[in-house]
Structure 1
Amino acid sequence: MSWGMIATWRMAHDGVTQASEALSNNGQAGDAIETTIRTVEDYPYYKSVGFGGLPNAEGILEMDAAFMDGDTFKIGAVAGITDTKNPISVARKLSDEKFNSFRVGDGATKYAMLNGFERKNMLTQRAHRIWEKRVEEIAKSNLSPYDGHDTIGAISLDTNGSMAAGTSSSGLFMKKPGRVGDSPLSGSGFYVDSEIGGATATGLGEDLMKGCLAYEIVRQMGEGKTPQEACDQAVYTFHDTLTKRYGKAGAFSLVAMNNTGQWGVATNVEFTFSVANDQEKPAIYLANMGENHQTIIEPITQEWLDAYEKRIKAPID
């Protein structure tokens, strides 16, 4: 049996690389998801996930995460959790609960605390300064406060044929307290069925929730489409429909993998992702929306990577 791993954004690559090594040595799909996402949650320069994530309008960092087992359909999720080191681990633990498996706000935070998950102030000085600057800009220039909503979403396949999916996000920068996007919602932010495949999403949650695209991609793969065909069909059809009926479509990107390790991607913005399977080493690619509802996918350049590293670590005035 083949194995595979795919995840959203450049920020996932180190985690994908680490998880891929385990999967190639008969590691479990669920462990691969947790490893990949925890790596992103722990890195302070990724400002849309975990430690270093950007806070809400009141300066409080609220985080969302979800985990799904493709063998059993068990799902665990948290939304608006605070001061907890790895929300993905809490979500995975919750997936073992028959009842109360999706916790929000204080309920999620208390569950994490009572179950021994590490407590940590996840708001870094860097993230707080970025928040302060945005508050100043809003007051001076009447700018829109909203900026950034890059979820880490991942799909894994292990050599036993089991699949899993997971997401983690600090959500929309400057969101109103209590706002929740698509990331912890089954069918919108993620979906996986080990007999078919899985998909995860990143982008503007308010628009992604209108389409339930993660489930739709899995459904189309179940009807025989390749992951790429399913992504192109689901994402671009919905992009056009939403633009026509709602007036506009926010940014959204989805990645998918089927139960043989084939993968696919579709996006309506410039989008990076990381992928590996038993046929290809971990690699980062750049995707864009092409003509005729087909995605253009290219290998990332070293120049792009260098600029990315410089940008995310640039000093904050």
Structure 2
Amino acid sequence: MTGRRKFLKRSLASSLAFVPWLTSANGLEIEEHRDREKFKPLILSTWNHGMAANDKAWEVLQDKKSILDAVEQGVKVTEADLSNLSVGLQGLPDREGIVTLDASIMSGDGACGAVAFVRQVKHPISLARKVMEETPHVLLAGEGARQFAIARGMALEKEVLSPKAEEAYQKWKKTSQYKPIINIENHDTIGMIGMDSEGKMAGSCTTSGLAYKMHGRVGDSPIIGAGLYVDDEVGAATATGLGEEVIRICGSFLIVELMRQGRPPQEACEEAVRRAISKCKNIESTQIGFLAINRDGEYGAFSIHPGFNYARHQEKGKDLIDAKSKY
């Protein structure tokens, strides 16, 4: 009789091996059969500057460090890239000629931190992580964020525009008109989302914001649920483009919640873009791009207009992909 029970259990296990759900039969646990494991680990970043950022993040993962370490160290590459005019202190300034930075970081367990309207801090993403890990708060802004950086031993940089930013700013002052230009170094935030080999997720988002914005303006990047949202139980999403339009729809949170309801990442990104378009009054001059990953390692991206691309790093290689768009 005992032998017959073992035979039946083995037969049951074989018949259920390809059922895509965790199954229990008389105490016998059948693990989910997943080809999707090949997608892990995975790093995704917005725009072509995400390639170098992903290289660093991938290196961190290969050193057996956490996915949170990877997404922080990855975007620090972009924050320090002197050729980039949309991220870091070398970015384009506001109307007063002052560079102010926004950043956020989040892990899949719900821990998160952010800084907004911060000056003279070379790596706002690292300051955001300190807010997450060393304070009871989620978001610090302005002078408070700067003072926190000083208190944590972060050196402040001289408040001088980079040569490229200075040249662009002086040219802009001749007319002093603010007109967004889609897909140009104006609001090309870097957002990074990733998953390690165990399925743990994290994300980061950092930017110098809209060029020639009003002094004090804050975009979507430091707002958890707008520019970035991560939940290990569901997935992660990040946004780039005109932050005001992302904030209006809580874009990244919306995408994660759509995935929670069973939508695949691509479909969730497309729905978020449709939602943004429905609220936007000047769609011709507005670009938004969304990037998402679910807990199974599936991913998607979508934008309002053509031109948005994203960097992908995985075990089989790395590449830059042009996202699909509504128009």
Smaller-chain TM-score range? 0.7 to 0.9
Distance 1:79 1:230 in 2: 27
Query: What amino acid sits opposite 1:173 in the alignment?
Result: A
1:106 matched to 2:140? The reply is no
What does residue range 201-280 of structure 1 map to in structure 2 within 5 Å?
Answer: 201-235=239-273, 237-243=274-280, 246=281, 248=283, 250-269=286-305, 270-278=307-315, 280=316
TM-score (norm 1): 0.84
What does residue range 124-135 of structure 1 map to in structure 2 within 5 Å?
Answer: 124-135=162-173
Equivalent residue in structure 2 for 1:198, among 236, 246, 249: 236
Distance 2:147 2:75 in 1: 22
Q: What displacement does 1:45 show?
A: 0.8
Please say if residues 89 and 101 of structure 2, whose CA atoms lie closer than 8 Å, have aligned partners that are also in contact: no
Q: Which has the larger radius of gyration?
A: 2
Q: Which runs of 4+ in 1 moved over 4 A?
A: none
CA deviations 1:88-137 (Å, max 9, x no partner) are 00001111145233111111111111101232236312211211110013
Distance 2:82 2:253 in 1: 31
Query: What's the counterpart of residue 297 of structure 1?
Result: none
Please say if residues 66 and 184 of structure 1, whose CA atoms lie closer than 8 Å, have aligned partners that are also in contact: yes
What does residue range 25-40 of structure 1 map to in structure 2 within 5 Å?
Answer: 26-40=64-78
Please say if residues 84 and 119 of structure 1, whose CA atoms lie closer than 8 Å, have aligned partners that are also in contact: yes
RMSD value, Cα: 1.8
Q: What displacement does 1:51 show?
A: 3.2
Query: What's the counterpart of residue 181 of structure 1?
Result: 219
Distance 1:233 1:145 in 2: 27
CA deviations 1:128-185 (Å, max 9, x no partner) are 12111100133xxxx4355511111110111232211111010110011110011100
Equivalent residue in structure 1 for 2:320, among 284, 289, 306: 284
Q: What displacement does 1:247 show?
A: 5.7
- Gaps of at least 5 residues in structure 2 are 1-36
What does residue range 37-48 of structure 1 map to in structure 2 within 5 Å?
Answer: 37-48=75-86
The secondary structure found in structure 2 opposite 1:209 is helix
Distance 1:226 1:162 in 2: 18
Distance 2:283 2:266 in 1: 24
The secondary structure found in structure 1 opposite 2:103 is strand
Query: What's the counterpart of residue 178 of structure 2?
Result: 144
Q: Number of aligned pairs?
A: 282
Q: What displacement does 1:265 show?
A: 0.1
Query: What's the counterpart of residue 21 of structure 1?
Result: 59
CA deviations 1:295-316 (Å, max 9, x no partner) are xxxxxxxxxxxxxxxxxxxxxx
Distance 2:271 2:62 in 1: 31
The secondary structure found in structure 2 opposite 1:136 is coil
The secondary structure found in structure 2 opposite 1:83 is coil
Distance 1:208 1:290 in 2: 16
Q: What displacement does 1:194 show?
A: 1.0
Moved more, 282-291 or 43-52: 282-291
The secondary structure found in structure 2 opposite 1:260 is coil
Query: What's the counterpart of residue 88 of structure 1?
Result: 125
- Gaps of at least 5 residues in structure 1 are 292-317
Distance 2:325 2:45 in 1: 18
Distance 2:107 2:291 in 1: 17
Query: What's the counterpart of residue 306 of structure 1?
Result: none
What does residue range 50-129 of structure 1 map to in structure 2 within 5 Å?
Answer: 50-71=88-109, 73-121=110-158, 123-129=161-167
TM-score (norm 2): 0.81
Distance 2:145 2:244 in 1: 22
Distance 2:295 2:264 in 1: 11
Please say if residues 245 and 276 of structure 2, whose CA atoms lie closer than 8 Å, have aligned partners that are also in contact: no
The secondary structure found in structure 2 opposite 1:40 is helix
Classify 1:195/1:26 alpha carbon distance in 2 versus 1 (closer, same or farther; 3 Å).
farther
